[in-house]
Amino acid sequence: MKQKIIEDLNPNIVETWGGRTARLHHTLQEDNLFSDDVLASLIERMPQAVSPINTMAASGHDADTWSYCDRSGLSGHDVLEAIKRGRLWINMQKLEEHDSRFEALLEDIYAELGQEIPGFKPFRKSLGLLISSPNAQVFYHADVPGQSLWQVRGEKRIHIYPPNEPFLRPKDLENIIRGVTEEEIRYDPSYDAHAEVYDLKAGDMLHWELNGPHRVTNGNCLNVSVTTEHWTPMIRRSFAMNYGNGVLRSELGWTPKSRALSGPAFWAKVALTAFWRKSGLQQKQSFKRVMRFRVNPNAPEGISPMSIGAAE
């Protein structure tokens, strides 16, 4: 019989799924999918466009230090070496489209969740892999779809904040959803008093409230984490409402008053969202993060600046 991936999905967690942070235990760290050799071969096979390497400042919260790094021509083990010694992370996205073992893993995870949680039937789901340096941090940000983090190797601390003001302003969420900015948002250290704080080690999993801002700090060790994300009909409605409100606020000069997910105003926003996305108007202003560094396994921080003119 196949081993279960999720260990303690109790009735309490089932009842509050998606509304309150769920902490569970899993068995992914026992799988041989996460050895250095498998990770190195994945890094080599994945196109850079869907597995960007990021870096950001060791301390502080200056989102301008968040940059992409080029890794062309390097072996997977070289890149792993740079991550082990530097301050980097690689975000391998949509692994289910590139490797059948991860496709099967994604199906198994959601089959287990769907079996236990009544009505939880995402119509779209995806699996990513984050490999990150000792002490690396991921700045305060919010994600668009439903998110879970499955810690496989190493230790990290995650702060999770409520998905409402002042922690997440509607305008900021609208901009993320419309692709005007990437996920980073305004952070103030005073928010920490309102955060939930979790220390994750191999075998821990967290699923939190939709769009809940969060920031992550690694322990002094290499970290390997799986991320899963999903879309349900309710998440799609929330996306359309925020998208429509963003167009009203930022493009049409109208301050939206409702965040309802049903009713005539909501359906008008669905129509506006569909029109705006189809019109191509959004693409022109979408934000692109700049590539400023090159991965270098011999450099103390695992990266070297790119020569002027080579950036972008």
Residue number with CB closer to Fe ion (90 or 272): 90
Residue 23 β-bridge partners: 206
Closest contact distance (angstroms) between CB of 183 and Fe ion is 7
| Alpha-carbon distances of 34 from 41, 54, 152, 254, 293, rounded to whole Å | 11, 20, 8, 49, 26
| Alpha-carbon distances of 96 from 32, 50, 105, 157, rounded to whole Å | 17, 12, 8, 27
Tokens of 97: 């489209």
**19/67 Cα distance (integer angstroms):** 32
Question: 229-254 b/e with 16+ CB inside 10 Å = b?
Answer: bbbbeebebbbbbbbbbbbbbeeeee
**123/236 Cα distance (integer angstroms):** 10
* Binding interface with Fe ion (CB under 5 A): 143
How many CB atoms lie under 10 A from the CB of residue 123? 10
Q: Which residues contact 30 (CB under 8 A, 6 or more apart)?
A: 3
Task: Tell me the residue number closest to Fe ion, measured at CB.
Answer: 143
Closest contact distance (angstroms) between CB of 160 and Fe ion is 10
Closest contact distance (angstroms) between CB of 294 and Fe ion is 25
Closest contact distance (angstroms) between CB of 146 and Fe ion is 11
Closest contact distance (angstroms) between CB of 227 and Fe ion is 7
Residue number with CB closer to Fe ion (178 or 215): 215
How many CA atoms lie less than 13 Å away from 50 in the CB half-sphere?
Answer: 15
Closest contact distance (angstroms) between CB of 147 and Fe ion is 6
Residue number with CB closer to Fe ion (91 or 250): 91
Residue number with CB closer to Fe ion (147 or 245): 147
Residue number with CB closer to Fe ion (24 or 74): 24
- Burial, 105: exposed, middle or buried (Cβ in 10 Å; 0-12, 13-18, 19+)? buried
Closest contact distance (angstroms) between CB of 100 and Fe ion is 26
Which residue, among 150, 97, 165, 83, has the nearest Cα to 126 in the 3D structure? 97
Residue number with CB closer to Fe ion (86 or 145): 145
**302/296 Cα distance (integer angstroms):** 5
In 202-307, the DSSP E strands lie at 204-207, 214-218, 223-231, 291-295, 303-305
Residue number with CB closer to Fe ion (143 or 251): 143
Closest contact distance (angstroms) between CB of 82 and Fe ion is 22
